[in-house]
């Protein structure tokens, strides 16, 4: 059966190149013969080396993913030296690449002083009317902007960057160390120029060679109709300008919706509560209602409406953010029972209760259940 090279490195199929390299580095440090003299560790190191070669070579990895073994065709002998030309490892250059991220002699070159800026986030509080129907607001942000004195160059007027004398413009310096591999040449960013290959002898007096300064500015934000609490609006290129005058990141405006005294919101639907007297709910009525947009409308309440009934006004809710049309307005009816009655009102209610057979003071007639008899004997 073909060797499970993913399992040898402790990885699952589909692992990225970075994961493969990271796993090999971890195992090689523990299993190399110069570090671990155990014979089993030596054999394990050879297996790990073969797995690394199989999974870092695109052609060999394709064979592994198809269920085969790329070394069955004689590409290398099992158990051979892990540093040989065909013994399951790509040679000294590959192990240097695994440990240092590049060849033995480096060669990455200087990096640019110009880098992209970071994104910025600001929160904007709006009323319910503004989030539902949209608005345009001006916000004040404090971010890094392009330096107006040097236009991002970072140098004083009339001066220019010069080549770094420490790295001769390469952006990196090399050091030689002795290890079990012999002399190993490693590279690191130049500490003088921070890897850019240039230094600025006369920095800009405004930005101090950064190419950017902090400034407060006002930006208009168009809030589309239908946005909800917590949503973010992206303003491309309105964030932080990068070092060296690099391109600005994005500005994200996070919406915070203030509570409304009448209406609440659930997605595209609006909700409100209305309180009706008991008589209006029993007899029915027409209820005038002012909508969120200021429009006046009438809500028909049918006779016998119970407390907790929800009346739906279609198309009177919030606009749909990514579609056409609007949601609904849900009107929740709360029926109010009177708590204080004068003598005349109490008399009238008792007469009504008697007419409806609901007079609490009179016992139920034989065979006729009153209000409480129906409660006591619901199945009679």
3-class SS of residue 357:
coil
Question: What's the pLDDT score for residue 264?
Answer: 95
Question: What six digits make up the tokens of 302?
Answer: 């049918």
Per-residue confidence (pLDDT) for residue 38, from 0 to 100: 80
Q: What whole-number distance in Å separates Cα of residue 39 and Cα of residue 79?
A: 12
Query: What are the domain boundaries of the chain?
Result: 5-100, 115-157+203-259, 264-336, 343-376
pLDDT of residue 85: 35
* Whole-number Å distance between alpha carbons of 340 and 54: 89
CA distance 342 to 344: 6
Topology, domain 5-100: Helix Hairpins (1.10.287)
Which residues, 6 or more positions from 178, have their beta carbon under 8 angstroms from its beta carbon? 184
154, two tokens: 């970072």
pLDDT at 361: 57
Q: How far is 215 from 142, CA to CA, in rounded Å?
A: 6
User: Strand pairing partners for 185?
Assistant: 176
User: Annotated binding residue at 193?
Assistant: yes
- The CATH homologous superfamily for domain 115-157+203-259 is Urease metallochaperone UreE, N-terminal domain (2.60.260.20)
CATH class of 264-336: mainly beta
272 among the known binding-site residues?
no
Per-residue confidence (pLDDT) for residue 183, from 0 to 100 = 67
The pLDDT assigned to 66 comes to: 76
Helix (H, G, I), strand (E, B) or coil at 59: helix
Intrachain domains 115-157+203-259 and 264-336 with the same fold: yes
Task: Kindly give, in sequence order, each residue whose CB lies less than 8 Å from that of residue 79, ignoring residues fewer than 6 positions away.
Answer: 43, 46
pLDDT under 50: residue ranges of the chain: 73-107, 364, 366-380
Residues 6+ apart with CB under 8 A from 295: none
pLDDT reported for residue 286: 92
d(Cα 279, Cα 304) in Å, to the nearest integer?
A: 9
190 is in an annotated binding site: yes
Q: How far is the C-alpha of 241 from the C-alpha of 57, rounded, in Å?
A: 40
């Amino acid at each position: 059966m073909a060797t499970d090279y993913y399992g040898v490195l402790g990885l699952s199929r589909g692992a990225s190149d970075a994961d493969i390299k990271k796993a090999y580095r971890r195992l090689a440090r523990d299993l190399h013969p110069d570090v671990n003299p155990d014979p089993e560790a030596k054999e394990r190191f050879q297996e790990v080396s073969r797995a690394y070669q199989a999974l870092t070579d695109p052609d060999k990895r394709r064979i592994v993913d198809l269920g085969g073994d790329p070394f069955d065709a004689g590409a290398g002998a099992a158990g051979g030296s892990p540093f040989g030309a065909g013994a399951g490892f790509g040679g000294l250059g590959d192990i240097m690449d695994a440990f240092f991220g590049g060849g033995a002699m480096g060669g990455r070159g200087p990096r640019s002083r110009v880098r992209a800026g970071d994104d910025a986030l600001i929160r904007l509080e709006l009323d319910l009317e503004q989030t539902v129907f949209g608005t345009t607001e001006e916000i004040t942000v404090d971010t890094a902007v392009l330096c107006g004195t040097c236009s991002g160059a970072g140098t004083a007027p009339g001066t220019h960057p010069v080549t770094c004398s420490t790295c001769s413009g390469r952006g990196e310096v090399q050091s030689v160390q002795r290890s079990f591999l012999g002399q190993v040449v490693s590279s690191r960013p130049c500490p003088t120029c921070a890897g850019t290959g240039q230094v600025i002898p006369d920095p800009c007096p405004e930005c101090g060679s950064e190419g950017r300064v902090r400034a407060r500015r006002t930006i208009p934000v168009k809030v589309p109709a239908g946005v909800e609490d917590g949503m973010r609006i992206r303003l491309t290129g309105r964030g932080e300008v990068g070092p060296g005058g690099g391109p600005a990141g994005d500005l994200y405006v996070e919406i915070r919706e203030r509570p409304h005294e009448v209406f609440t919101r659930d997605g595209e639907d609006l909700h409100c509560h209305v309180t009706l007297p008991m008589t209006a709910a029993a007899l029915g009525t027409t209820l005038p209602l002012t909508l969120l947009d200021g429009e006046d409308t009438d809500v028909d309440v049918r006779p016998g409406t119970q407390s907790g009934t929800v009346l739906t006004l279609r198309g009177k809710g919030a606009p749909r953010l990514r579609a056409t049309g609007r949601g609904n307005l849900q009107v929740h009816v709360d029926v109010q029972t009177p708590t204080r009655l004068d003598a005349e009102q109490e008399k009238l209610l008792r007469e009504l209760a008697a007419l409806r057979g609901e007079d609490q003071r009179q016992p139920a007639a034989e065979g006729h259940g009153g209000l409480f008899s129906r409660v006591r004997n619901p199945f009679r």
